[in-house]
Chains A and B, each alone.
Chain A
């Protein structure tokens, strides 16, 4: 019994009707089914309310206040849009954080996906040791999010780190990568790209679903490998590419651990690694401006939602669904 027996899931398509139990009569059984439903759902409902929905609304409220975690709630003052005004007009760290985060996502995400797709294509054909390679390339995506690996990474790209020694072998003089504001963010991007294994595995699963007949037909028509890639692989894989793009973009915006470790929690050098979530952490939990941090959080949420909407609307032009369904 393998998990792959589960039917393919339509992830971002909303309520795809989770197969209702047949309705047996009215009254008794129906009410019993309702009761059972809510009993089974009760932990989730409690979590939705207590951990997600109410805190979200609270955070919206706090974003209009000057709450600072030090004074009691009774002294919380409603300051209207002041937090948002400060953010957009007089807080340079906000714009730094936006710039750093957007730059990071714009460069690291496409490169990571390209690496993932490239290697997936190489591993798509069965050959001896393919499982070993798949595991090898997947492993970094499990290790890469940890503090331990961030520490290793930062030290590899130190002035005296292994990377510079390696460059030295070729007579190239390196930079103090992590301490140089021109290169510190690139170091973080490299760490993100190094973790291409997770999208790679998703690509591999997608490649397996492309019917071989399509390639046979294309090859009969005289299409070479490149043309087959353009005309068969890319369109057939586009839903999976789209899925990975959305997932990795949203993840990319949330990078925190490595930036925190690299900069010792400051976003330095010179704000060059001030990822948005790190800025939020500094404002809310170092400087204790929790009202302001809530405003930052809501701008973040709206930005991510907007980016997702934009991705979905452009997706209509290049994502091809084999079943012809317009999603």
Chain B
């Protein structure tokens, strides 16, 4: 007797989840379908099956701006690569110091680091802009990359500290008895063991930097230096009412790397937020 209600409840739950999943996916699918539709069809129906498929939007979009869209993809890739390397090196070094070294002022610095996790960038953006423009760094990628080389993404320092604390200290001791100094212990013992934390950092840095709009908008004003988000938004500016399809096509292109990162790194993404996020 009790089986029937349970089965139907489970069926209802599944149906609900599938419906919700469709609602969640609708904007993404609509974007992809719109990128394949002729311009005069995009705004006519909510449906997701195009009457005719045309790939020409992609060609049009690729060449619609001052430089081919690939140029902006490369710019974004350079920024992302710089930020990933910066975060991996600087945050892991800071995390090793916080988790394993006993130095004067450690507690104070650690508290300061936690305090900066939620610090909005808007509070420092004006003086930072002045600083970087005094250094003549506007319209270079340096204002975007150099802060990462200086471990300003405290979130990742914290994530790595948490991870290193979970590694057995006996490993360090053993290496020390073998005569290894701190640089050696860090490079040979700790780093190889913290690959999962490094992977989480890589994938989050990748996605956040790729999507970041605020600082790229401020520091990159020369169209030659535009990254993908800034280039895409100049699309909105320049679009004559007829090239919607091209704009959606480039939107799809710009989200592809995120989508791939999600597929490859889903495990690390989910575990990453779960570990840092939890009590």
Contacts and interface: CB of A to CB of B under 8 A. Distances in A.
Q: Is the interface of A mostly helix, strand, loop or mixed?
A: helix
Contacts, number: 341
A294 B30 contact: no
Contact of B214 (A56, A151, A256): A256
Interface stretch (B52-60, B77-85, B95-103): B95-103
Interface string B1-17: 00000000010011011
B252 to A, nearest CB: 8
Contact of A166 (B16, B46, B109, B210): B46
Interface string B160-179: 01110110010000000000
B251 A151 contact: yes
Given A43-B94, A152-B248, A198 B273 contact: yes
Nearest to B103: A37
Interface stretch (A7-15, A87-95, A177-185, A215-223): A7-15
Residue in B16, B45, B102, B269 whose Cβ sees the most chain A Cβ within 10 Å: B102
B124 A51 contact: yes
B107 interface: yes
Residue in A22, A37, A55, A137 whose Cβ sees the most chain B Cβ within 10 Å: A37
A47 B27 contact: no
Contact of A9 (B14, B102, B278): B278
Q: Is the interface of B mostly helix, strand, loop or mixed?
A: helix
A228 to B, nearest CB: 16
Contacts of B276: 9, 11
A270 B244 CA distance: 25
A143 to B, nearest CB: 6
A43 B150 contact: yes
B271 A3 contact: yes
Contacts of B162: 6-7, 9
A151 B234 CA distance: 11
Residue in A47, A153, A264 whose Cβ sees the most chain B Cβ within 10 Å: A47
Contact of B278 (A12, A48, A205, A261): A205
B236 A56 contact: no
Given A62-B126, A62-B127, A142-B258, A162 B46 contact: yes
A18 B232 contact: no
Interface residues of A, number: 114
Given A37-B101, A256-B213, A44 B157 contact: yes
Nearest to B108: A15
A109 interface: no
A142 B21 CA distance: 16
B210 to A, nearest CB: 8
B186 interface: yes
A136 B114 CA distance: 31
Given A14-B114, A37-B106, A152-B27, 17 more contacts: A6-B166, A9-B279, A15-B107, A20-B106, A43-B149, A51-B147, A52-B124, A56-B123, A146-B211, A147-B213, A151-B251, A152-B28, A247-B277, A250-B120, A290-B126, A297-B122, A297-B124
27 contacts: A3-B271, A9-B276, A18-B165, A19-B169, A34-B103, A41-B93, A44-B94, A44-B113, A47-B149, A51-B128, A52-B116, A54-B127, A59-B126, A140-B24, A148-B251, A152-B248, A156-B30, A163-B46, A166-B46, A202-B278, A243-B279, A254-B120, A260-B233, A264-B236, A277-B122, A300-B122, A308-B118
A-B interface, 8 closest residue pairs, ranked by CB to CB distance from nearest: A37-B103, A47-B150, A205-B274, A148-B251, A40-B97, A58-B127, A55-B127, A160-B43
